[in-house]
Structure 1
Amino acid sequence: MGKEVNEVKEGYKETEIGVLPEDWEVVRLGKVFEEVDRRVNNVKNAASLPVLSLTKNNGIIPQTERFKKRIATDDLSNYKVVYKKELVYNPYVIWEGAIHILNRLEAGLVSPVYPVLSVNKKVADAYFFDFWLRTPSAIKAYSRYASGAVNRRRAIRKTDFKNIDAPLPPLHEQRKIAYVLSTIQRAIQLQDKVIAATRELKKSLMRHLFTYGPVPVDQIDRVPLKETEIGMVPEHWEVVRLREVADFTKKPRGLNYSGNIPFIPMELIPIGRVNIQKYIIKPSSEISSGVYCEQGDLLLAKITPSFENYKQGIISQIPKPFAFATTEVYPIKARKDFLEILYLFYYLLIPQVRQDIAGKMEGTTGRQRISKSVIQNYLIPIPPLSEQRQIARFLITVDKKIEAEEYRKSTLQSLFQTMLHLLMTGKVRVKDLEVKEDALRQ
Structure 2
Amino acid sequence: MRDGWQQVTLGELFEPSNERLGDHDAEPTVFSISKHDGVMPADEFFEKRVASSKLHDYKVLPNDAWVYSTIHIDEGSIARNSTGVAGVVSPMYTVMRWVSERDDAMYGELLLRSAKMMATYSDNARGSINRRRSLPWSVFRDISIALPPLHEQHRIVDLISAVDHATKTAEEEARSCAALRRDAIDSLINAHDSGERVSLGQLGTFERGKRFTKKDYVPDGLGCIHYGQIYTSYGATATETISFLPESFRAKARLARSGDLVIAGTGENVEDIGKAVAWLGEDDVAVHDDAYIYRHSLDPAYASALFASTAVRSQRAPSDSKVARLSSSVLASISVPVVGVDAQRQIGALMGSLDDAAVAARTAAALRRDLRSNLLTVLLSGEHEIPPSYDKLLGEVAA
TM-score bin, normalised by smaller chain: 0.7 to 0.9
Distance 1:299 1:63, change over 3 A: same
Higher relative contact order at CA 8 Å, sep ≥6: structure 1 or structure 2? Answer: 2
Q: Is the 8 A contact 1:26 1:167 kept in 2?
A: yes
Matched, 1:72 2:29: no
Higher mean Cα deviation, 157-166 or 117-126? 117-126
SS at match of 1:41: coil
Give the Å deviation of 1:165.
Answer: 1.6
Q: Is the 8 A contact 1:261 1:323 kept in 2?
A: no
1: CA distance between counterparts of 2:311 and 2:133?
44
Where does residue 71 of structure 2 map in the other structure? 92
Listed one character per residue, the Cα deviations across residues 78-103 of structure 1 (whole Å, up to 9, x for unaligned) are 22223343221001100000001222
Where does residue 300 of structure 1 map in the other structure? 263
What amino acid sits opposite 2:203 in the alignment?
V
Give the Å deviation of 1:63.
Answer: 3.5
Q: Which has the larger radius of gyration?
A: 1
Give the Å deviation of 1:347.
Answer: 0.7
Give the Å deviation of 1:106.
Answer: 5.2
- Report 1:21-100 matches (<5 A): 21-41=2-22, 49-63=28-42, 65-67=44-46, 71-100=50-79
Distance 1:140 1:75, change over 3 A: same
Question: TM-score scaled by structure 2?
Answer: 0.84
Matched, 1:238 2:217: no
> Aligned pairs, how many?
381
Where does residue 167 of structure 2 map in the other structure? 188
Distance 1:426 1:46, change over 3 A: farther
**In structure 1, which of residues 254, 257, 275 is the aligned counterpart of residue 238 of structure 2?**
275
Structure 2: which 5+ runs fail to align? Answer: 210-219
1: CA distance between counterparts of 2:37 and 2:246?
46
**In structure 1, which of residues 297, 304, 314 is the aligned counterpart of residue 278 of structure 2?**
314
2: CA distance between counterparts of 1:116 and 1:56?
16
Q: Is the 8 A contact 1:33 1:118 kept in 2?
A: yes
Structure 1: which 5+ runs fail to align? Answer: 1-19, 214-233, 252-259
Identity %: 24
Matched, 1:156 2:118: no
Question: TM-score scaled by structure 1?
Answer: 0.77
2: CA distance between counterparts of 1:353 and 1:168?
57
Listed one character per residue, the Cα deviations across residues 22-72 of structure 1 (whole Å, up to 9, x for unaligned) are 220111111221112222238xx8966432221111111233544566643
What amino acid sits opposite 1:392 in the alignment?
G
Give the Å deviation of 1:110.
Answer: 1.9
Where does residue 312 of structure 2 map in the other structure? 353
2: CA distance between counterparts of 1:70 and 1:249?
43
Listed one character per residue, the Cα deviations across residues 179-236 of structure 1 (whole Å, up to 9, x for unaligned) are 22222223322333222222222221122112123xxxxxxxxxxxxxxxxxxxx3x3
Matched, 1:340 2:299: yes
Where does residue 187 of structure 2 map in the other structure? 208
SS at match of 1:121: coil
Q: Is the 8 A contact 1:51 1:70 kept in 2?
A: no
Cα RMSD after superposing both structures:
3.1
2: CA distance between counterparts of 1:143 and 1:414?
23
**In structure 1, which of residues 262, 277, 280 is the aligned counterpart of residue 222 of structure 2?**
262
2: CA distance between counterparts of 1:142 and 1:332?
50
Where does residue 86 of structure 2 map in the other structure? 107
Matched, 1:166 2:145: yes
Give the Å deviation of 1:108.
Answer: 2.6
SS at match of 1:21: coil
What amino acid sits opposite 1:239 in the alignment?
R
SS at match of 1:40: coil
Matched, 1:199 2:178: yes
SS at match of 1:105: coil
Distance 1:237 1:56, change over 3 A: same
Q: Is the 8 A contact 2:227 2:267 kept in 1?
A: no
What amino acid sits opposite 2:295 in the alignment?
K
